[in-house]
Structure 1
């Protein structure tokens, strides 16, 4: 494909060289003219055909300018000018195609990593089969150095996978039983047995390839404007050339104006930048839906963040165990709480039981009796003793003295924890508390957004204000909106937009769906395993890595800056050349040479986007474990 791309300009260039050489050797000037016309025909045939097809579709494009100028030059005997114009324009087309092909290399790399074969277990035997023939549910073996042929879940074994092709993460990820793996990733060591859950077009890799193809072909608003611009610009240049040609009687001047008016660099200034920007993002694990969303992302000045599962990990952890007097040890309090909660399915039961087991306490078996008390807690019979775990309302119902427990619970609650009081046989034993853990990179992400030019970072959460503000203090957001229902988050996004902000909403796409749809840009986190997120989000961050969000905003801003620079170079070149022609001194061939130089400048500028840049320098350290709130609480203590 690459050699065919350059065959036309190479053949035309060879004919031009021969047109100078043959007369010099043989003295046959007519042969030289014939070779020059042949060079113009070879280079110009495709240009004229494209112009005719465009006219048939009632589109007046840049190719029409070149066609009219070249044909006119041949008619008046300016064979060199005709050959030079078409040759240089053909070179420009070849450069454009070569550059777009190179900037699409991220997609080519993704296609290249798709494995063609898989090793599966069938009837107890290993069999190598085409990857496309693997059925969902089959067991696939992934050995050291092999590419994973399917999406799936690890059934057994351990290993490290290079997931750069999916998430943009260069550090291999350890995998063990229950972990998710993706097609196209590479085993860096170990041996994995994987149950196939997605094959062929139903893999994350296939969805990524499909999305990048669509995104790179999608037009940005600027690109659409450039199409409209060329629709009136081309007739305007033709009319200008006719007016000056008729006024001066100088046909060469008119044809030169036609050629010089061809904004070759302007034609490719936008698409080459869009494709390069989206390609760079794909390599970094950032999928941008199209040029329009890339442009909008560059204008983002407010980011709304869901708390649970975005700023925090979305899983509660045990943070505190406080005995209420010296007759109870930490182990006593945690042990009784864990054994009582062993019979509960409430989300807060799991971190208590897990922490007890981690500390070597007996949390096995089930209570003799379990009585959940909605909104208050749980009452269980453990080894014949009545154990209550819950809030103050539960203690009052049980007739348990609660003054000391209320004071400790209040202190923990004020710190953003969710406290639960433990009582045994009517006596308060202690208080345990759980909290969600703030992601280690949350503070760096918020600082990175500010460094990238985002003016306002807002937390939207259904949690209590006390819990939300505790998290906000750690991560550095500018505004907290708490106690929100999904419709309240939607209203918050609309309020930011009404205040003049271009808003990006980051959420899990479930209870945040209305807000994500309303925001100017919807961002899905950790979308590698979520086909719906890849297809529906305006931006999908393939890895569950918050720092990719400021990287995405920074990439969008750089891409739009390059687009504007390219437009300035292209228009400035055309303006200067037109002035040079009208004032005298700029010939047709010289003008085309300057045009091609401007094309090279535009291409080189866009190629800078393919270089990977670091995330904005940010301050602050890693955030520590912090609280979860109402969406986990049985009820406020």
Structure 2
């Protein structure tokens, strides 16, 4: 916490920095001074021995920056814990304790460097994100390729991306095909295939192939740019625990100053007063919240989960209620054929082939589901002609000499299924039943959440009751609300707000509910722009299996903050008492102080290794 090393958003390799060499150089002067002191006939300049002069230089190198930070704090009328150590250093100098002043200065700044180095391990995921954007890209202009700075790329520009290169913008593939490593966006380690017309994102890697990408969003407007901004902003956010610590920290300086004065008055020993000032500096207390929060947010980022602030994780830690939207959240957001019911002795393959023939070329979601199912069954699709689509009824056409109709039916509506009837020359060949299928990991996620004490799990949906009930039974949710209008969703959420209520939606039509809940979690792949703007937490790969992980992480974060606060308070209290009693010297006090701070930071950084 001493001086500028207190900044949590400084990204640098500490042990390669000029600060490290300055601190090491100042510390090296201490043994040099002691060696000079052992030599006979030491030179004396203006009543100071050469040994003392070297020690003073050491204090100037390492102690002066601490004192300057304290002065800046006083000038800005801000409480700065550097004031306590600064007073201690100055007191040592005035009383002629140059060795103590030099050693304390060196230990304090060295400890701050170590704290920063340990804290950096909590930010590794964030640093890797910042470094992941390329500086240049290959642009296609007038049929020629040229390398340009990424910041000069504009919407509509055409980029060329080859195997092994990082995609510099959000865009659409206009030519070519590739596999893309999207781990930086979704946390998914397995590359996904991307074809002409598919979206690709900045910060992802072209694993193989060759593609031409039309830029849609660039720079800070890209999904990746927004992710980096979100995480960096989250570092500055404060949890409720951190805000409480900040309030109490305002009292630390006057209390410790008073304790040091009492030590001087009762014992008459200025060394004890100096020790109290050193050990009373509440660095570890102030670090307890911020470093833990950064570690938790960083850990979530490695799993493709973006958290806008530690406060939202803190809310999750006390949650026992979690409400889901249905379509696009618990389900894929697109229908799939779940039952094929042929009649008259006909086969399922014949039924799906006839239906797919007249649905070819249609962009309707039900047509897409039928064609996808035909592809999965490897059914041959005959050519159709004279295709006519009737809104609200269905589609018809000629397949060979047969007239084929695919029309809406409510035969299985009571089961929550969307059904179409397939007729050939007026005869009913059978029915195709479709539904918006549950996400593969939904059932397991809900079971795991229940095991973690999230006992009030519900579906809030505007869909029909049979469809909602069918899904609820499938994924294992006993409480559900169908036919909910937006205001009705909000009324249900408002009854539980304040208890840590979590709402999970797709970030498009659930914006009011996401905002109203204590913690709003959005699915990132569907309407990611809205999700990134509205939600408190975003699942970039739409993975519901990350919800139990988030609950665990939030509880670990809150628990670690509480442990660190208690640990810091106990260490400071014991150290102040021992300093008052004369058991600790200023040098031992500085060592004790830094051990406490490093221990707190190390406990916080351990969150980086929480299981996903």
- Band the TM-score falls in, shorter-chain normalisation: 0.7 to 0.9
Q: What is the alpha-carbon distance in structure 2 between the residues aligned to residue 273 and residue 22 of structure 1?
A: 45
Q: Which residue of 2 aligns with 1:215?
A: 234
Q: Which residue of 2 aligns with 1:461?
A: 461
Superposition CA RMSD, Å: 2.9
Q: Which residue of 2 aligns with 1:15?
A: 29
How is 1:17-166 mapped onto 2 (pairs within 5 angstroms)?
17-26=31-40, 28=42, 30-166=49-185
Conserved 8 A contact 2:507-2:523: no
Match of 2:128, SS state, is: helix
Shift, 1:23, TM fit = 0.8
Moved more, 414-423 or 256-265: 414-423
Q: 1:208 to 1:49 in 2, by over 3 A?
A: same
Q: What is the alpha-carbon distance in structure 1 between the residues aligned to residue 362 and residue 397 of structure 2?
A: 12
Cα displacement string for residues 272-303 of structure 1 (whole angstroms, at most 9, x for unaligned residues)? 22222222222322211123223223333322
Q: Which residue of 2 aligns with 1:360?
A: 380
1:391 matched to 2:409? The reply is: yes
Q: Which residue of 1 aligns with 2:224?
A: 205
Cα displacement string for residues 62-118 of structure 1 (whole angstroms, at most 9, x for unaligned residues)? 111111122122222233332232222212222233334443332332232212222
Conserved 8 A contact 2:355-2:404: no
Cα displacement string for residues 144-191 of structure 1 (whole angstroms, at most 9, x for unaligned residues)? 222222221122322212222222222111221222111222222222
Cα displacement string for residues 1-23 of structure 1 (whole angstroms, at most 9, x for unaligned residues)? 63223234313311221221111
Task: Provide the aligned length of Structure 1 versus Structure 2.
Answer: 589
Q: What is the alpha-carbon distance in structure 2 between the residues aligned to residue 352 and residue 560 of structure 1?
A: 48
Conserved 8 A contact 2:402-2:424: no
Conserved 8 A contact 2:508-2:531: no
How is 1:224-235 mapped onto 2 (pairs within 5 angstroms)?
224-235=243-254
Conserved 8 A contact 1:66-1:259: yes
How is 1:247-326 mapped onto 2 (pairs within 5 angstroms)?
247-326=266-345
Moved more, 527-536 or 143-152: 527-536
Match of 2:200 among 178, 181, 188: 181
Conserved 8 A contact 2:472-2:480: yes
Q: Which residue of 2 aligns with 1:525?
A: 523
How is 1:205-604 mapped onto 2 (pairs within 5 angstroms)?
205-326=224-345, 330=348, 334=352, 347-352=365-370, 355=373, 359-362=379-382, 364-367=384-387, 371-372=390-391, 377-378=393-394, 387=405, 389-391=407-409, 409=411, 412-422=412-422, 429-497=429-497, 501-527=499-525, 530-604=528-602
Moved more, 77-86 or 140-149: 77-86
Conserved 8 A contact 1:526-1:545: no
Cα displacement string for residues 544-570 of structure 1 (whole angstroms, at most 9, x for unaligned residues)? 222223223322222222222222221
Conserved 8 A contact 2:328-2:526: no
Q: What is the alpha-carbon distance in structure 2 between the residues aligned to residue 463 and residue 139 of structure 1?
A: 41
Q: What is the alpha-carbon distance in structure 2 between the residues aligned to residue 187 and residue 427 of structure 1?
A: 51
Cα displacement string for residues 343-388 of structure 1 (whole angstroms, at most 9, x for unaligned residues)? 9876434434554676324363344x6554x5xx348576796957
Q: What is the alpha-carbon distance in structure 1 between the residues aligned to residue 20 and residue 535 of structure 2?
A: 39
Q: What is the alpha-carbon distance in structure 2 between the residues aligned to residue 288 and residue 324 of structure 1?
A: 52
Match of 1:194, SS state, is: strand
Shift, 1:540, TM fit = 1.6
Shift, 1:465, TM fit = 3.0
Q: 1:314 to 1:595 in 2, by over 3 A?
A: same
Q: What is the alpha-carbon distance in structure 2 between the residues aligned to residue 102 and residue 354 of structure 1?
A: 46
Shift, 1:584, TM fit = 4.1
Conserved 8 A contact 1:272-1:606: yes
TM-score in terms of structure 1 length: 0.84
- Unmatched 5+ residue regions in structure 1? 393-408, 616-637
Q: What is the alpha-carbon distance in structure 2 between the residues aligned to residue 428 and residue 532 of structure 1?
A: 44
Q: 1:581 to 1:385 in 2, by over 3 A?
A: closer
Q: Which residue of 1 aligns with 2:45?
A: none
Q: 1:41 to 1:452 in 2, by over 3 A?
A: farther
Shift, 1:515, TM fit = 0.8
Conserved 8 A contact 2:507-2:526: no
Q: What is the alpha-carbon distance in structure 1 between the residues aligned to residue 506 and residue 148 of structure 2?
A: 37
Cα displacement string for residues 253-285 of structure 1 (whole angstroms, at most 9, x for unaligned residues)? 322222221122223222222222222222322
TM-score in terms of structure 2 length: 0.88
Cα displacement string for residues 295-350 of structure 1 (whole angstroms, at most 9, x for unaligned residues)? 22333332211111111111112222324545x66566556655676798764344
Moved more, 242-251 or 429-438: 242-251
Q: What is the alpha-carbon distance in structure 1 between the residues aligned to residue 486 and residue 22 of structure 2?
A: 59
- Unmatched 5+ residue regions in structure 2? 1-11, 43-47
Q: Which residue of 2 aligns with 1:618?
A: none
Q: What is the alpha-carbon distance in structure 2 between the residues aligned to residue 379 and residue 149 of structure 1?
A: 43
Q: What is the alpha-carbon distance in structure 2 between the residues aligned to residue 440 and residue 282 of structure 1?
A: 22
